[in-house]
Amino acid sequence: MKKLLSSTAFLVVNKILARNIGLKETILLADLISKEEYFICNGMTDGWFFNTESNIQADTTLTPYQQRKALKTLKKYEIIETKRKGVPAKQYFKINEEQVVKFLNNKSFKNLTTINKNKEIKLNNKYFIKPSVSDVELYCIERNNKVDAISFVNFYESKGWFVGKNKMKDWRAAVRTWEMRNNKSSYKKTGTSKLDAQISEWEKAKKLI
Q: How far apart are CA 28 and CA 30, in angstroms?
A: 5
Which has more confidence, 94 or 207? Answer: 94
pLDDT confidence of 62, banded at 50, 70, 90? very high
**Comparing 189 with 167, which gets the higher pLDDT?**
167
First-to-last C-alpha distance (Å) of the chain:
51
> For 36-53, what is each residue's pLDDT tens digit?
888 888 888 888 999 999
Give strand pairing partners of 83: 92
Extents of the domains making up the chain = 2-107, 130-208
Angstrom distance (rounded) from CA 24 to CA 194: 49
| Euclidean distance between CA atoms 68 and 45, whole angstroms | 26
Q: Is the pLDDT of residue 197 over 70?
A: no
pLDDT in tens, 125-179: 456 788 888 889 988 888 889 899 999 999 999 988 888 888 888 899 999 999 9
Q: What is the pLDDT of residues 24-34, one digit of tens each?
A: 999 999 899 88
pLDDT in the model for residue 98 = 81
- Calculate the CA 45 to chain-centre distance: 21
For residue 54, what pLDDT band results from cuts at 50, 70 and 90? very high
**Check: CATH 3.30.1330.10 for 2-107?**
no
pTM above 0.85, yes or no: no
pLDDT range class, residue 67, cuts 50, 70, 90: very high
pLDDT score recorded for residue 125: 41
118 burial level (CB within 10 Å; 0-12, 13-18, 19+): exposed
For helices 171-190 and 194-208, the axis angle rounded to 10 degrees is 70
Query: How far from chain centre, in Å, is Cα 165?
Result: 22
